Structure formats: C-alpha cells, structure tokens
A = this chain, B = another copy of it.
Amino acid sequence: VTISYRRARKPEEKQERADRLLATARAMLTDGLALQALSLNGLAREAGMAKSNVYRYFESREAVLLALLTDEWVAWADAVTTDWPPRGSAAPSPAAVAVHLARTLATRPLLGALTAALPTVLEQNLSNETVRRFKIMALDLLHHVGQQLAVVAPGLTPAQYTQLVFELSMVITGVYPHAHPAPAASQALEAPALSLFRRDYAADLERFACALAAQLNAGP
C-alpha cells in the first residue's frame, strides 16, 4: 500500500499544520468530546491527515492537550487586564481583583477542564523536556500577569498576585471535577439531600479567590 502525501517542509507550513490540528482538536472538545476520548487517531481522521503525519507535530495526545492548555492560559492572560479596570475608575481592591480573576477564569470551560487534567493526566504522559518547557512558559505568564495586576491594583505586590493566580490554578484542579461530575455522580447528586455536593463552578472559584486574596492582603 502506498500512501501519497505532500510533506510540509517549510517552517511556516509546519506551523500552519500544527495550528490546524489544534483548531480541530479545540472544535472537537468544544463540541462536547470528553478530554479522555480525544485520540491522535480521531484527531487525524477529523483533520483529514494520516496518523503518522500527526506524530510529526505532536508526540502524543497529551502534547495536543498541553498545547491547547497553553493557548487557553495565554489568551486568558492577554484578556485579563485588557480594558480592565474600566478607564477612569479607582484602583480595584485585592478583593475586586479576586472576583475579576475568578470570573474571567470561570467563563473558559476548556481552560478549566485542561487545568484540572494537567497534574492528574497530562503530566503523567509527557516527556521531561515538554513538561519543563511548559513550566517555564507558565512561570513567565504568572509573573507577567502578577506585574500587570500590581500596576492597576497596587493593593498587593506582583509576587502576591503571581501566587494568587497560581493558587487559583490549583483551586481549579480541585473544584472543576467536583462541579462537572461523571454521569454516575451527576445522577446520584440529583437527590435534594445531597445538594452540598452539587457545586457551582463560578461561585466556588469566586469564594476561594476572595478567601485567598484576603489572606494575602492580611499579610503573614
């Protein structure tokens, strides 16, 4: 059997193909595919590429998910201080920053799902070098956001905002799966008596964010 295909030889062609694969994966997940159901086979089929070709761009399905997670956090970091706080308004308090962070994070479901899966799934199946590069990117992003926030809301230091955003990422890892239970749990939780376990993702993020910001504001 001869499979004929045209290799993407130029760097910009390779980037274009990687971007197309990511856009395809994002569309599949946004359409409701569960993270654990995304396979390189399925992605190749959906993108109209041979699986062997997909491997030229991503080492594994986890590498695809990590690239999507990176895009999500970069897009969030770009958005979080764009047009915020509104021009002419007073500097927001740390509590107001906390609410803003929680709300902008909560409206990005793919960021939530992937952040929750990062330590439990993604990092279990990636190479050291891929994880290392991701962590360096994440640290840069956290420092950048910390600095931006401290400029517009000087109630906390850049380092404190950096810590707050990182702590919120750990909160997402804990809260997202509880707020998006598996079918068996979701059905069990329909019982009125079990309402404590039915979590509102946005409300929980906001409450945790406010608690952590207040703690940072109160000092050591």
Contacts and interface: CB of A to CB of B under 8 A. Distances in A.
Interface of A: 116-117, 119-121, 123-124, 126-128, 130-132, 135-136, 138-139, 142, 162-163, 166-167, 170-175, 177-178, 181-182, 184-185, 187-189, 191, 193-194, 196-197, 199, 204, 207-208, 210-212, 214-215, 218
A170 B181 CA distance: 13
Given A172-B174, A211-B214, A197 B128 contact: no
The interface centre, meaning the residue of A123, A130, A182, A188 with most chain B CB atoms within 10 A of its CB, is A188
Given A172-B174, A174-B173, A211-B211, A188 B135 contact: yes
The dominant DSSP class at the A interface is: helix
Contacts of A218: 214
The interface centre, meaning the residue of A121, A135, A142 with most chain B CB atoms within 10 A of its CB, is A135
A105 to B, nearest CB: 13
Oligomer: number of copies: 2
Given A207-B215, A210-B215, A215-B211, A184 B135 contact: no
A139 B175 CA distance: 18
A139 B208 CA distance: 21
Given A135-B194, A166-B196, 11 more contacts: A123-B181, A127-B184, A132-B188, A135-B189, A135-B191, A136-B193, A139-B196, A142-B196, A167-B208, A170-B175, A173-B178
Contact of A174 (B130, B171, B193): B171
A95 B118 CA distance: 31
B136 A184 contact: no
A135 B197 contact: yes
Given A119-B182, A215-B210, A175 B177 contact: no
Nearest to A207: B215
A210 B219 CA distance: 13
Contacts of A167: 208
